[in-house]
Every structure is written in structure tokens, then in C-alpha cells.
């Protein structure tokens, strides 16, 4: 069940207000120093961020229904504790179960011109079906001129545990034909559209990424920053990270957009681009007993 509005209101600093309804559950609205954002407690999901002086950075599908019946299509879904389809249970929730759960707001603070929210998912999933381990992540969202998202977890068991995790961020773009992605030119990748052909393993390509068809790639050995350069909007979104092995580059193009059902109109793919950071198969995170890990990504907009 979502937190009560009274409990939430006691935690909120100036610049953070409550909205939402019985269907959507609580939504936190941030308007602080000209920086704006919206965070749903369903999924611990930031789905809007607009730093002062800039256009909106995150894309949300016009077909999304904020009814807590399925995850929000857009913004930054938190994928945990697996990524994509579960390897043994194809009928389990895509990208894990926490993005379809009501999260708890633990703290909300203002510091250095930014708002930081600390959230945790529920302590168990239904009947411990999906992940029968006493491990739950903690999510920190620091919202201001930049957006920093941090997911931390500690293996409190006496056995190693494999975890898949990612920030599945959808960026608002001017038009798919006028972007390029730089920073991944030296990284080999897995083409998920060609998995049937030698596992889809491909060597690094020397050129920036441009999009002219459906793309779904897992870039490996992630090291330096990534930039999404948008000619039409006249801006770049710089992505820095730590604790991440992979970047996933995804755009569904025409036919997949039609199949997904909640992407909005058939041409919705033209205004969005996903660049995800995390640790995903075949490079999932293996936490040793007692080991602590933080996945952190920061987004910054420059003209």
C-alpha cells in the first residue's frame, strides 16, 4: 500500500509538494530554484526533470496510464533484480518486480541547491516469489541543475547472489534523425536483434551511433562518459556513471512501437531515445556475502 499523505507531508521540505490520486498513488512534485521534477512512489520512478533554463529532459509516453496497473512508460524505470526477461521464468515481470511496487519515501532533504529523495521498495515481494533473499536496494535521487540517481545494495546473506540492474532512462529528443550518441565508439556490444546469429556479439564500431531503424544493443566494458547530442533541440545530455558495466541503447522504431501498446501514437519513437546504464546479462552483478555495491548515474544538460 502507498504511504499515507499525512506521513509523506511531514517529510517534505520547501520546494516539494504532493499530488496524485487514488489510482496513481502519491506523486512528489519538485519546484526548487527553478529546477522541476516529478517522482512517482509507484516504482520509485522519476518521470520528469527539467533543470532551470532548459527544455524537459525525460520523455514520457502519452499512452501511459498512471493507474499502478503497469509500470510507467518513460522517465527512468528502476530495473531490479533482473534485467529484461527473467532467464528462467519468462512469465515474470519484465525488468524485475520493483518497478511495479509501491516504494517508501524514507527522507527528503534540501542541500546545496538540490533536493535529495531517499526511497526503498517494499521489504518483500508477494510471497517471496521473485527474489527470496533479504536484500532490498536503496534509491537516492538528487534533483537540481543535474540529476543523480544512485542505487545501493548490500548482500546480507552467506552466499553470492547475482543481480541484474539498470536505470532504463528515456530521453526527450527533437527528432530521431537528428541525434548522435558519442562515447561508445570503443566498446564491443551485443546486438539483441541478432541474438540468433552467434549470440549477437559485435566488435566496437569507430563512429558515433546514429539511428535509422530499430536498435537494441548492450554495450560492454563501460568506462568513460556518454553524450546524447541533439541538433534539433540544440543541446547535449552528458551521462557519467560509476558501478556500471553496461550501457543499453534502445529505440523501438515503427513496428515495435505499434506492438508495445503504451508508447502512444505510431510515430512516438521519433521523440525518444533510451540510453540505460547498469549491470545486465551477460555482465550481471555478482555480490559476494557482505559485499556492498552502488550504481550511480548523473545527467547534465549543456547547450
pLDDT tens for residues 103-160? Answer: 999 999 999 999 999 999 988 787 789 999 999 999 999 999 999 999 999 999 999 9
Question: Which residue among the candidates 35, 95, 241, 276 is catalytic per the annotation?
Answer: 276
Q: Is the pLDDT of residue 289 over 70?
A: yes
Residue 1 has pLDDT above 80, yes or no: no
Catalytic, 168? Answer: yes
Q: Which tens digit of pLDDT belongs to each residue from 59-68?
A: 999 989 999 9
Mean of the pLDDT values across residues 160-178?
Answer: 98
Please tell me the distance from the alpha carbon of residue 29 to that of residue 273, in angstroms, as a whole number. 24
- Condensed to tens digits (0 to 9), the pLDDT of residues 182-227 reads 999 999 999 999 998 889 999 999 999 999 999 999 999 999 999 9
Q: Give me the percent of the chain exceeding a pLDDT of 90.
A: 93
Q: Which domain holds residue 251?
A: 5-302
Percent of the chain with pLDDT over 70: 100
What is the Cα–Cα distance from 259 to 195, expressed in whole angstroms? 20
Who contacts 286 (Cβ-Cβ below 8 Å, separation ≥6)?
160, 161, 162, 163
| Of the candidates 225, 218, 211, the residue with the CA atom closest to the CA atom of residue 270 | 211
Instruction: Write the CATH number for 17.
Output: 2.70.98.10
Mean pLDDT of the chain: 96
Closest among 14, 16, 63 to 41, alpha carbons compared: 16
Question: Exposed, middle or buried, 45 (CB in 10 Å: 0-12/13-18/19+)?
Answer: buried
Distances in Å between the Cα of 163 and the Cα atoms of 67, 126, 187 are 28, 19, 22
**2 pLDDT tier (thresholds 50, 70, 90):** confident
Rg of the chain in Å (alpha carbons) = 19
Out of 86, 168, 241, 293, pick the active-site residue: 168
The number of folded domains in the chain is: 1
Helix (H), strand (E), coil (C) string for 83-136: CCCCCCCCCCCCCCCHHHCECEEEEEEEECCEEEEEEECCCCCHHHCCCCCCCC
Amino acid at each position: 500500500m502507498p504511504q499515507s499523505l499525512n506521513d509523506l507531508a511531514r517529510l517534505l521540505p520547501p520546494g516539494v509538494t504532493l499530488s496524485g490520486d487514488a489510482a496513481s498513488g502519491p506523486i512528489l512534485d519538485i519546484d526548487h530554484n527553478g529546477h522541476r521534477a516529478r517522482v512517482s512512489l509507484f516504482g520509485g520512478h522519476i518521470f520528469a526533470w527539467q533543470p532551470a533554463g532548459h527544455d524537459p529532459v525525460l520523455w514520457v509516453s502519452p499512452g501511459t496510464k498512471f493507474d499502478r496497473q503497469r509500470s510507467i512508460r518513460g522517465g527512468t524505470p528502476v530495473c531490479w533484480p533482473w534485467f529484461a526477461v527473467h532467464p528462467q521464468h519468462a512469465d515474470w515481470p519484465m525488468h524485475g518486480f520493483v518497478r511495479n511496487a509501491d516504494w517508501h519515501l524514507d527522507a527528503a532533504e534540501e542541500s546545496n541547491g538540490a533536493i535529495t529523495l531517499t526511497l526503498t521498495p517494499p521489504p518483500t515481494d508477494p510471497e517471496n516469489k521473485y527474489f527470496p533473499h533479504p536484500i532490498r536496494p536503496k534509491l537516492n535521487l538528487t534533483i537540481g541543475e543535474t540529476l543523480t540517481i544512485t542505487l545501493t545494495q548490500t548482500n546480507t546473506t552467506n552466499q553470492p547472489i547475482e543481480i541484474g540492474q539498470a536505470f532504463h532512462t528515456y530521453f526527450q529528443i527533437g527528432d530521431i534523425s537528428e541525434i548522435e550518441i558519442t562515447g561508445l565508439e570503443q566498446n564491443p556490444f551485443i546486438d539483441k536483434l541478432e541474438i540468433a546469429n552467434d549470440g549477437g556479439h559485435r566488435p566496437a564500431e569507430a563512429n558515433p551511433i546514429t539511428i535509422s531503424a530499430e536498435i537494441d544493443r548492450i554495450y560492454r566494458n563501460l568506462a568513460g562518459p556518454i553524450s546524447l547530442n541533439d541538433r534539433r533541440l540544440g543541446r547535449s545530455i552528458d551521462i557519467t556513471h560509476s558501478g556500471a558495466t553496461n550501457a543499453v541503447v534502445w529505440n523501438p522504431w515503427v513496428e515495435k512501437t505499434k506492438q508495445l501498446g503504451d508508447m502512444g501514437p505510431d510515430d512516438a519513437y521519433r521523440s525518444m531515445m533510451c540510453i540505460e546504464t547498469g549491470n545486465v546479462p551477460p555482465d550481471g552483478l555478482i555480490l559476494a556475502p557482505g559485499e556492498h555495491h552502488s550504481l550511480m548515474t548523473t545527467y547534465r544538460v549543456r547547450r
